[in-house]
Amino acid sequence: MRHLILTEGHPPQSVALTAAEANALDELELALVTRSPHSTGWDVAAGNKVGVMALGELQVTILPKVPIDRLVFMMGYARNPAFWRNHDVRLDLDDDLATALAHAFVRQATQALEQGLLHGYRTRDDTLPVLRGRVRVGEQIGRRFGVLVPLEVTYDEFTADIAENQILHAAVVQMLRAPSVPATIRRSLHRLRLQLTDVSLLDRGLPLPTWQPSRLNIRYQPALRLAELILAGNSFEQRRGDLTVSGFVLDMWRIYEDFVCVALAEAIKTCGGTTSLQYRSHLDRAETVPLKPDLVWSRGGSPQMVVDAKYKAEKPAGFPQADLYQLLAYCTVFQLDDGHLVYAKGEEVAASHHVIGSHVRIHCHTLDLTGSPRDLLGQIERLAAGMIEIASSG
């Protein structure tokens, strides 16, 4: 097995790849691959995804430029701020992302299951030769035309096949697909899967079943929160020509933008008003051009503040300042004098742009992702306070 290690944000490196490997990396958008002009190799740089993948005999690891534990915190906080504000997950920072997550999940899941599987009541519809629960009269008449047996019934079953165990089972399977997970951790995952044998496996691509925190499942909760993060990743296994391709990857831009928007919404809560994520509006009166800013804070039904989170500046060919044009459109439609862009520090610099011929000012902020979770949330709180002050003084 050949190994290629890339780090997000680092310059390209010249790598010897087969044409099939280069095409697979490019088509799956796992890296930026171009033919090297100075050799027969390829110039390869990390894109906006992090994780690990196997392309036939080549294993590619893409490391995030932020510590793995910070990455996991941002993912978790975006999904459940109340839990992740007061909890952390011990991760081995020397491991790649998939291995670190798998190792932490094994610890949490083993602890959750050491007292046995959690059981609960689950409502089932079934066809039985004897009465159990209650008869579904409409189904009985419509399907059986007056025949007394078999019976169409609904009953509550006390079972281990409940949402909590289904989520853990799905996360075990997801981690087993990751190509970099070492044999010791893989054996532990197989033991967990054996414990969950009687639990149904969720269909890939469908929403996760819902569960509610309670005193009954309190021992499961850390493992469940980590399982949800694992299942938010993109695990794949497919054929690309003659190559078998598998991997576990995450979109850095999505993690960053989700975290910033949820954290800002949490920080603004105390100011009253209404905060909307992915606010839907239109640029034109005919409503043919949709707008969807990341966050809008409103009072009395009227937008007072608009924010877009950008992991990196969007610079499509011919439009090098696309983010500024986008914020200008938002401010124009919402009749605001100020709009806000929040970049990851190191990608852009903090600045304010006063647009010629209008009152609009676009404020570009930066967020340092290298600090501790407490530092990150402190930056967000200060950022939110400054935005509210600007909105209130307008």
Can you tell me the distance from the alpha carbon of 311 to that of 313, in angstroms, rounded to the nearest whole number?
A: 7
First to last CA, the chain: 61
Residue 284 CB neighbour total at 10 angstroms: 10
pLDDT at 262: 96
In angstroms, the Cα distances linking 280 to 16, 289, 296 are 46, 11, 10
Return the top range by mean pLDDT from 21-25, 121-125, 332-336.
332-336
Can you tell me the distance from the alpha carbon of 92 to that of 98, in angstroms, rounded to the nearest whole number?
A: 11
Q: Is the pLDDT of residue 56 over 80?
A: yes
Can you tell me the distance from the alpha carbon of 384 to that of 364, in angstroms, rounded to the nearest whole number?
A: 13
Helix axes 97-113, 68-79, angle to 10 degrees: 60
pLDDT at 234: 82
pLDDT at 127: 83
Q: Is the pLDDT of residue 226 over 60?
A: yes
Can you tell me the distance from the alpha carbon of 277 to that of 17, in angstroms, rounded to the nearest whole number?
A: 42
Contact 208, 126 (CB under 8 A): no
Asked whether the whole model's pTM tops 0.75, one would answer yes
Range scoring the smallest mean pLDDT among 134-143, 261-270, 341-350, 380-389: 134-143
What is the average per-residue pLDDT within 293-320? 83
Q: What region does 273 belong to: left with phi over 0, alpha with psi -120 to 50, or beta? A: left
Domain extent listing, the chain:
2-116+163-252, 120-159, 272-393
What is the average per-residue pLDDT within 93-106? 87
Helical segments of 284-372, H only: 322-334
Give the mean pLDDT of the chain.
88
Can you tell me the distance from the alpha carbon of 229 to that of 218, in angstroms, rounded to the nearest whole number?
A: 18
Range scoring the smallest mean pLDDT among 116-120, 218-222, 239-243, 356-360: 239-243
Contact 366, 350 (CB under 8 A): yes
Using CA atoms of 175, 176, 178, 182 in order, give the dihedral in degrees to the nearest 10: 100
What is the average per-residue pLDDT within 332-346? 94
Q: Tell me the three state secondary structure of residue 249.
A: strand
Q: Is the pLDDT of residue 275 over 70?
A: yes
What is the average per-residue pLDDT within 182-202? 94
Q: Tell me the three state secondary structure of residue 243.
A: strand
What is the topology classification, in CATH, of domain 272-393?
Answer: Trna Endonuclease; Chain: A, domain 1 (3.40.1350)
Contact 388, 268 (CB under 8 A): yes
Both tokens of 185, joined, read 């951790």
How far is Cα of residue 156 from the mean position of the Cα atoms in its chain?
A: 34
Range scoring the smallest mean pLDDT among 54-68, 138-152, 183-197, 376-390: 138-152
Beta bridge partners of 343: 310, 366
Residue found under tokens 């165990």: 165
Beta strands per DSSP E along the chain:
2-7, 13-15, 31-35, 42-46, 49-55, 58-63, 120-128, 134-135, 151-159, 234-240, 243-251, 274-277, 281-282, 290-291, 295-299, 302-310, 338-344, 351-354, 361-367
The pair phi, psi for residue 349, each rounded to 5°, is -110, 150
What is the average per-residue pLDDT within 102-116? 93
pLDDT at 314: 67
Q: Using the 8-state DSSP alphabet, how is residue 240 labeled?
A: E
What is the average per-residue pLDDT within 343-370? 91
Q: Is the pLDDT of residue 159 over 60?
A: yes
What is the average per-residue pLDDT within 298-326? 83
Can you tell me the distance from the alpha carbon of 18 to that of 116, in angstroms, rounded to the nearest whole number?
A: 49
In angstroms, the Cα distances linking 8 to 45, 75, 252, 258 are 8, 17, 9, 19
Can you tell me the distance from the alpha carbon of 391 to that of 306, in angstroms, rounded to the nearest whole number?
A: 9
pLDDT at 364: 94
Query: Position 211: which residue type?
Result: W
pLDDT at 320: 54
What is the average per-residue pLDDT within 180-196? 94
pLDDT at 131: 78
Which of 256, 272, 216 lies closest to 78 in space, CA to CA? Answer: 256
Instruction: Kindly indicate the confidence band of residue 83, based on its pLDDT and cuts at 50, 70 and 90.
Output: confident
